[in-house]
């Protein structure tokens, strides 16, 4: 027995997925804004002695390294997602072509019956 998706559930699933994605995006943006505010406050604190200046400079260098690594990771993941999206598009086209050719074959048999 073939498994078929219920048409009435599909739009609801898509709507829920879209809402969930929006919530996740808002959460990530809020976290980003909070981190940015914290960073601005921390960097706005005056340096009181040479040791504090050295500690801050070291911390900034490490933080920049972390940010650069994060950016590289995002680029890598984006490239993987692009490749996967392309693969899914090819699969979709193959499946659609197979579906159309199956319907086309059925259509010709109907014409033969006339």
Whole-number Å distance between alpha carbons of 81 and 85: 6
Give residue for tokens 């490239």: 79
* Encoded tokens for 68: 């650069």
Domain-located, residue 68: no
Taking the alpha carbons at both ends of the chain, their separation in whole angstroms is 30
Task: Domain of residue 32: give its range.
Answer: 11-43
pLDDT means per 10 residues in the chain (114 residues)?
Answer: 58 83 96 97 95 96 97 98 97 95 63 45
pTM, entire model: 0.64
pLDDT at 6: 54
pLDDT at 15: 84
Domain-located, residue 111: yes
Domain-located, residue 95: yes
pLDDT at 21: 92
pLDDT at 112: 47
Domain-located, residue 70: no
pLDDT at 31: 97
Domain-located, residue 56: no
Domain count, the chain: 2
> Under a CB-based contact definition with an 8 Å cutoff, are residues 53 and 60 in contact?
no
pLDDT at 47: 94
């Amino acid at each position: 027995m073939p498994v078929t998706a219920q048409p009435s559930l599909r739009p609801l699933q898509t709507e829920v997925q879209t809402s969930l994605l929006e919530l996740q995006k808002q959460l990530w943006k809020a976290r980003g804004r909070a981190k940015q505010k914290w960073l601005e406050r921390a960097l706005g604190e005056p340096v009181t002695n040479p040791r504090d200046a050295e500690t801050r400079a070291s911390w900034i260098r490490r933080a920049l390294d972390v940010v650069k690594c994060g950016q590289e990771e995002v680029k890598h993941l984006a490239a993987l997602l692009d490749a996967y999206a392309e693969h899914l598009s090819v699969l979709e086209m193959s499946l659609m072509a197979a579906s159309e050719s199956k319907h086309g074959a059925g259509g010709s048999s109907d014409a033969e019956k006339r």
